[in-house]
Structure 1
Amino acid sequence: MKVKSLFIVVCVALAIVGCSRADPEVKEIQEKLIGVWELDSTTTVRAGLQKSKKTTTIAFSEDQKFIYYWWDSDLVGKYEGRYFVLKNPDRGLVTITLIPDVDTLKEGVYRRPYLNFDVEDIREGKMVTLHETERIERYDMPDKIWFTERRIYKSSAD
């Protein structure tokens, strides 16, 4: 009976230690994320890479909190919450998920949608992210194309 109990305790301890160990690639990206990132440019279907017309800033902190600001002409938004970094081998890239806090309004609770994007590259003050792939209808051609938007952020420290 004691051997069986000891075996169970050892298995549980190994599972906890194994699950709590961070993937080195995830840890590296988490460290590089810390700071403020400003959207510099995006890719579009027709124009390719161009300067962003909308201003977006994401601030990441060490305690896995974020602040997301955006403004476009006279529209402004800001929300905060928690972020998570995950490596999914089937996707081949590290994914960042931003989960905004809920806002309590007079009408009730407002839940903003989660934001998810993959990190294609992050180094030397530059981060390239990939967003959801869309199927684009092309009226001038019979085929449809698949398009994945890339966003290039620059670190505000640079």
Structure 2
Amino acid sequence: NDGDADSPQIAIDSSGNAVAVWRQSDGARDNIWANRFDGSSWGSAALIETDNTGSTYQPQIAVDSNGNALAVWAQSGGTRVNIRANRFNGSNWGNAVLIETNNDGDADSPQIAIDSSGNALVVWRQYDGTRTNIWANRFE
């Protein structure tokens, strides 16, 4: 309840459980939050990124058939925008990690897909100083 929330995304597993992500202002910057629906009720919202270097943008979520999820988003790192991710193991969120390391220019517009075994593929666009390219990273 700190500030405005926007950019909600939701994914549902084969058992009817859902994970939602969104960005929400804390008054100083926008953060990424998540909540899980276990088929009958929502849990407690959890902050899933704790890097306070800059605001976040464009959260996306995907869930596999076992209820594991991967969230991705763009986040300002102070000098440019990066792509970060956090994994939900069916019970808990891990730590947010940087998933792109090309420091040429801003990255944005992440998209994610996940298969029934939890393998995920994330794509995003990133400017290299001359043109915008499409990059990808795979999670197994």
In which range does the TM-score fall when normalised by the shorter chain?
0.3 to 0.5
Higher relative contact order (CA 8 A, sep 6+): 1
- Normalising by structure 1, report the TM-score: 0.30
- Normalising by structure 2, report the TM-score: 0.32
Which structure has more helix as a fraction of its residues?
A: 1
Kindly name which structure, 1 or 2, has the bigger radius of gyration based on alpha carbons.
Answer: 1
